[in-house]
Amino acid sequence: MSGFTGDQVRRYSRHVLLPDVGGVGQSRLLAATAVVDGSGAAGRVAAMYLVAAGVGTVIVDGALATPVHEARFPLVAGDTGRALGDALAAALGGHNPDVRVVLGGAAAGAVRVTIEDDADDLAMAEAFERGGAAAAMTVHRIAVGATP
C-alpha cells in the first residue's frame, strides 16, 4: 500500500483486500467528499459508516441547530439538549483521524448520500440497516470511480 502511513495500512487493511476497492479505491475514498443529512437516525448511521470507511471529508447537513431530544447512535446521553450539529461533530470526529467532519455547506463535486423517508422514530435496527446500506453503496461508487 504505497503512500499510506503505517496506521492507515492497519486501519484500511480490510478495504484494501476487497477486489473492488484495493489501494487505489482507498486513495479515492480518502480524497472524496460526501454529504449526508444528519437530522435523521439513518443519516447519522450513514455518516458514521462514511467516517469509518475513510471518506476524506464528511459534510453533515440538515437541522443541525435543533437540540438533541433523545440520544441515539452515535450520540450519547450527555448530548441531550445540546445542538445536534455539535453533538454529531464530537461523535464522528474522534473515530478516524483521516476524516474531516464539516457541519453544513455542501461542497461542489461532493457525493450526496440519499436516504429516502428517514425519520427519527425509525426503529434503530431499521435505521442501522438503511443507513449502512446507503453509505456502503456510496463508498463502493467512490472506490470504483463511478460517477455520482
Tell me how many domains the chain contains: 2
Give the strand order in the sheet containing 57-61.
100-103, 57-61, 33-37, 111-113
pLDDT of residue 112: 84
Q: Is residue 61 part of a domain?
A: yes
Q: Range of 94's domain?
A: 32-112+127-132
Contact criterion met (CB below 8 Å) for 140 and 20? yes
Q: Is residue 48 part of a domain?
A: yes
Q: Is residue 50 part of a domain?
A: yes
pLDDT of residue 20: 83
- CA gap 139, 125 in Å, rounded: 21
- Each residue's pLDDT expressed in tens, for the chain with a length of 148 residues: 568 999 999 999 988 888 888 899 999 999 999 998 888 888 888 899 999 999 999 998 888 888 888 777 788 888 899 998 899 888 888 889 999 999 887 777 788 888 776 666 666 677 777 788 888 888 888 888 875 5
- CA gap 143, 131 in Å, rounded: 18
| Amino acid, res. 108 | A
Q: Are residues 45 and 107 in the same domain?
A: yes
Q: Are residues 45 and 94 in the same domain?
A: yes
Q: Is residue 12 part of a domain?
A: yes
The three grid cell numbers given for residue 147, joined into one nine-digit string: 460517477
Q: Is residue 103 part of a domain?
A: yes
Q: Are residues 43 and 106 in the same domain?
A: yes
Q: Are residues 50 and 69 in the same domain?
A: yes
User: pTM for this one?
Assistant: 0.86
The three grid cell numbers given for residue 108, joined into one nine-digit string: 461542489
